[in-house]
Structure 1
């Protein structure tokens, strides 16, 4: 039978991006060991012999002992090494094109990104940091580009409803960002510059005390990218982004059996999109962001573009195409782990985040502050040699308050809300045989959601819900493993920003018609092979969602006769099915090739809910060649053609002097297939210094270069910025240096 020390740690992480698999090993640890943490000495021989001391504490010993993990489900793991190979500056760049993952760019002005798992929408993905939620409702739409890769140990992506015990609202799945744990005294600096104002400086410092009980990780990163105007019409297709992040993580062993982790992070992000800074417009020269914002006079131009055609030069006032989003988030988390005895341990955790958004959307200002508290009490108990029980209680409370220029209208309806969830959970990790392991989990939650505007009396959602999940892993032999997962999940659709990148026509408020939880069911099967040279993982996933939220335009009452956005829910059940296969082959010890093929199938209901057409077919090729101190990494991606009319695309390039669309200027609804290629070449100058150069989008393929601007007019002559189906940034070369001390 399965030993205590391995019952929960058999996670069988499937590292698909390199098509390598990491099967958890049976390991033992004495959790009643002396206070002095265990040390390992590694000796490197250069001109002189250098000794490095790696120090591990209570939490690491329990992790090795298999007493802290809570899932055996199929998980994609993006390592720190792969992030470096991709030169990923932020979270979205690190995870994009991972099997089952799509980063959707949903606005050419503000650059908002949505992280889609298993074909589901971005708001149905939950982001965790070190296993705890610190991202409130509106945090998943702006500033995900500001989450740095500096100081990350890995990113774990678990797809499917209820993929985490503490995140039942993750209908699509969870992304768990794992910070590096200090095991030695070191410092790393990574700096790069490139085209279009690309700049990055990342600093990572780790330190331990002499007694090994206290370990600290310090992370700081600055990165910037300038605006890009591929079709030279004086309006950008990709905005300027300026990000600054700082975080400090301290782990301290209070006793032989107690560990406390405290983490603080501050993220600041400013995005400016629209008129190209430095050009002269109807209201003067756009010399700075501040000048553009201060030029707002609420008097619209008769025509925005020469001849009324979005493909021609912009001739309106700078503020009329400006989208500016200034975001700040403070994150604080605390976790206390205590090993009670050989069979029991407990973890008490709490997290807090304060997310503020100050924004301007083409004349409409919007300010929101979203604060969230989360507390969790969890216990792990080895019932016997076959069963590990995990159970606990958690509570999440979120408060969002907003202000906007629409409040001057007496009919204005606020989108502010309160959201509270109290949940109980129980999980049994059962090693039935040496080959079969079963993980059964159950959550019971009380969910309350309340839009607090006086026109919305009572609580819109006040429900009790049961969310079960089961994960199974079966080893057919030493090479083949099957995994099967099934579960239910829920989510409360509360924010307009989850269904639209910004509410641009909201002087009459935010019409809300939400009174039910989104409810999902999902099933995933994966088959993996791990040989000496060849590795393979194939999987298929099916997800069904009831009460799917979507944004529409409505004229059902006099108050919304101006076309106020309506947040409502579909009556139909929506379904998406995904299938993928990832192959990796080690040609030599220094050369590895990988290929992934994916297919996403959406039903009509799901298609109607998307703001931007998602990927339907994708091929990804990776090659990693390491020889004589040189390392070459290439990433080639093919995206299949799509019929945009399936997703509601209907736009025109031109209006006449009366503001009526020109029928002959109707935009194409055919999105052609295309290829993109990135590569990075690095050279180890010394054991501590690497130089590198690289190019993103080497083929310089963008939809604007193909003659299709993301700007358009709708049938009523209204201007919008999201006719997007392809890349918006062209070729960008860069060079940099990384030094470790």
Structure 2
């Protein structure tokens, strides 16, 4: 038993960290086997895990294609307990929320390695390509990863696809309004099968959308290009090395229709217009200068990582990982410029040791060193401006004992000890703001009631250093007034989850319950002078989440599934949200396969919300005391994809997203508004901002 657990844990940085409990067909699914090669293949064949203690949802490659998901957010937004929140109508920034937590509480891993910087979790999340991805694992709850204690909400682990044979895959589609997607993956396997390498290229574009025809887009133009090169080589019978490098270039342009960032910057004069809209009404035609409603963000992300797996004996192996990433941003927010470079260095040495038939130890040390430097010409003109540059270092020791109490009961006991230092380096912020040693324990338990019923329990602590205005709110737009920072403590959380799973011949289901409490929760406030202030809540904040997922095979060719979710936020948590989160959601899907045809359809229902509870207040017309509606009605969206296999290697497909064509702009309120002080803002958001879209494409293996 322990040899199985040992080898699965040893490869956590390059294969799934945990193999999930059963979930219904066509929902994020269980992956009970892992394709590995060479040395890693031999280790797995000696006994791979049949299941894992921790509850994990997995979105595999086939589901990614069924969803026509070209990026990470598209791929997981319909997973249980996952919500992708659109935080801005101009820049379209996405946040990935797990178990009702905020976006900054989710940690993105690449092959088990925390390569994403603080800033990378904000912009370009939806530029993370799905071409070359084998699957995406979503583990919810604090302590979800030994390597990511800051993942208070959980982790999203993006697993690279292993090359099995030399060949080339091309997946391409055209959408309406000049949008497109092109993904290519080429793979090479040497004759002795010791060397396997792959090259991935993805290029995609999403057009601007102005549903109310007022001259200002509600969804921005986004252009993404990604390159990934990955090499796996067996040095001998006991050693394997994996090298990976990636580069992503993303450009977002939102605001005025019919302009480019070049023409906008060329026309920038710093003189504000007397009126932005006809009759000062955001629902009427925009008449201001283009730069006054332009948001442009250019992002590049470079990554290099390497891992070396060495097997000392059948009971002991080591995985050594080194990684580097750099996230660069150049941006323009309605007259305010902002540039930043965020660099991360990461080191991990992990050991896996079988003590006996009941106990296996996983222990190691990891180091994280992150440095972010920002600059703003416009910001420095304000006496209140404090740059948000920071240095952040953590040094951690961890140990986990995986204990097989009996054939039906397995327990994992883990503890991390970390020293975390966070220092805002601006001259106005002398000293080190945070220097703490944190002890973060966790326990995961799996109990097999019988052949069909399984219970999983998890309890864990996590911590996080709140370091960026971007994480907390879209407060960068008010940066002309300056910045102020009042951060002195780590956010600390306690999370408890329970999952009960049933696996039958036709029916699969999982009931999940979760509760998370966070101390020192970061929030965006303002000083007495109206300067944006990055501060922390004085009271603890908590959220409870519950969901049930069902899947049923009606016939050999037809299966259906569904998920019901509900979230309960306390008043402190509600106050911290910039955008109202979903409180109730239902997901339904249908998967039909027959001969050469495949039909995949999904429907999403989001329940109504009272926006007053999340602090929404705004006006459509300047000077008019009539408030925008704070009643967000329930709505439906439907997606559909039809695929036809022309040959064994060539498929044609067509489909559409949001076929109900529901947007909050046409059915409710514009995201544009005037606040109580008379300032123009763009984030009165509670529903979809992109309407119906169609696509036509092909998937070809050469």
Indicate whether the TM-score tops 0.5.
yes
In structure 1, distance between residues paired with 2:106 and 2:603: 26
Q: CA deviation at 1:61?
A: 2.8
Matched, 1:5 2:33: no
Matched, 1:597 2:569: no
SS of the residue corresponding to residue 58 of structure 1 reads helix
Give deviations 1:203-245, integer Å, cap 9, x for gaps.
0111111111111121100000110000000000000000000
Among residues 561, 565, 570, which one is paired with 2:537 in the alignment?
570
Q: Is the 8 A contact 2:199 2:228 kept in 1?
A: yes
Among residues 263, 268, 291, which one is paired with 2:249 in the alignment?
268
Give deviations 1:399-442, integer Å, cap 9, x for gaps.
00000121133442110000000000000111110000101110
Q: CA deviation at 1:266?
A: 0.1
Give deviations 1:633-683, integer Å, cap 9, x for gaps.
00100000000011010000011xxxxx3112x100000000000000000
Q: Which one is further off, 193-202 or 640-649?
A: 193-202
Taking structure 1 as reference, are residues 417 and 522 closer, same or farther at Cα in structure 2, changes over 3 Å only?
same
Q: CA deviation at 1:56?
A: 2.3
In structure 1, distance between residues paired with 2:32 and 2:67: 27
Taking structure 1 as reference, are residues 415 and 381 closer, same or farther at Cα in structure 2, changes over 3 Å only?
same
TM-score, scaled relative to structure 1: 0.91
In structure 1, distance between residues paired with 2:49 and 2:487: 38
In structure 1, distance between residues paired with 2:581 and 2:36: 45
Q: Is the 8 A contact 1:371 1:400 kept in 2?
A: yes
SS of the residue corresponding to residue 59 of structure 1 reads helix
Aligned residues: 692
Give deviations 1:364-390, integer Å, cap 9, x for gaps.
000000000000001000001111100
In structure 1, distance between residues paired with 2:536 and 2:299: 28
SS of the residue corresponding to residue 13 of structure 1 reads coil
Matched, 1:143 2:124: yes
Q: Is the 8 A contact 1:7 1:387 kept in 2?
A: no
Q: Is the 8 A contact 2:507 2:552 kept in 1?
A: yes
Q: Is the 8 A contact 1:216 1:249 kept in 2?
A: yes
- The answer for the alignment partner of 1:16 in structure 2 is 23
Matched, 1:678 2:651: no
- The answer for the alignment partner of 1:396 in structure 2 is 368
In structure 2, distance between residues paired with 1:442 and 1:509: 41
- The answer for the alignment partner of 2:688 in structure 1 is 727
- Unaligned 5+ segments in structure 1 are 28-53, 278-285, 556-560, 656-660
Q: CA RMSD in A?
A: 1.7
In structure 2, distance between residues paired with 1:172 and 1:393: 23
- The answer for the alignment partner of 1:125 in structure 2 is 106
Q: Is the 8 A contact 2:651 2:700 kept in 1?
A: yes
SS of the residue corresponding to residue 572 of structure 2 reads helix
Q: Is the 8 A contact 2:585 2:604 kept in 1?
A: yes
Among residues 647, 663, 672, which one is paired with 2:625 in the alignment?
663
SS of the residue corresponding to residue 21 of structure 2 reads strand
In structure 2, distance between residues paired with 1:424 and 1:268: 35
**Runs of 4+ with deviation above 2 angstroms:** 2-12, 14-25, 60-72, 408-412
- Unaligned 5+ segments in structure 2 are 10-17
- The answer for the alignment partner of 1:282 in structure 2 is none
- The answer for the alignment partner of 1:90 in structure 2 is 71
In structure 2, distance between residues paired with 1:20 and 1:220: 25
Among residues 690, 704, 713, which one is paired with 2:674 in the alignment?
713
- The answer for the alignment partner of 1:658 in structure 2 is none
Q: CA deviation at 1:552?
A: 1.2
Q: CA deviation at 1:8?
A: 6.6
- The answer for the alignment partner of 2:355 in structure 1 is 383
Q: Is the 8 A contact 2:30 2:57 kept in 1?
A: no
Q: CA deviation at 1:64?
A: 4.5
Matched, 1:489 2:462: yes
In structure 1, distance between residues paired with 2:295 and 2:29: 44
- The answer for the alignment partner of 2:500 in structure 1 is 527
- The answer for the alignment partner of 2:168 in structure 1 is 187
SS of the residue corresponding to residue 177 of structure 2 reads coil
Q: Is the 8 A contact 1:9 1:65 kept in 2?
A: no
TM-score, scaled relative to structure 2: 0.96
SS of the residue corresponding to residue 671 of structure 2 reads coil
In structure 1, distance between residues paired with 2:673 and 2:51: 48
- The answer for the alignment partner of 1:466 in structure 2 is 439
- The answer for the alignment partner of 1:44 in structure 2 is none
Q: Is the 8 A contact 1:6 1:65 kept in 2?
A: no
Within a 5 Å distance, the mapping from 1:102-501 to structure 2 comes to 102-277=83-258, 286=259, 288-404=260-376, 405-501=378-474
In structure 2, distance between residues paired with 1:315 and 1:610: 31
Q: Is the 8 A contact 2:21 2:52 kept in 1?
A: no
Q: Is the 8 A contact 2:20 2:52 kept in 1?
A: no
Q: CA deviation at 1:71?
A: 6.1
Taking structure 1 as reference, are residues 502 and 215 closer, same or farther at Cα in structure 2, changes over 3 Å only?
farther
- The answer for the alignment partner of 1:51 in structure 2 is none
Q: CA deviation at 1:340?
A: 0.6
SS of the residue corresponding to residue 293 of structure 1 reads helix
In structure 2, distance between residues paired with 1:735 and 1:310: 35
In structure 2, distance between residues paired with 1:95 and 1:260: 29
Give deviations 1:82-112, integer Å, cap 9, x for gaps.
0000000100000002100000001000000
- The answer for the alignment partner of 1:621 in structure 2 is 588
SS of the residue corresponding to residue 447 of structure 1 reads strand
Q: CA deviation at 1:549?
A: 0.2
- The answer for the alignment partner of 1:634 in structure 2 is 601
Taking structure 1 as reference, are residues 628 and 413 closer, same or farther at Cα in structure 2, changes over 3 Å only?
same
Q: Which has the larger radius of gyration?
A: 1
SS of the residue corresponding to residue 646 of structure 1 reads helix
In structure 1, distance between residues paired with 2:475 and 2:187: 39
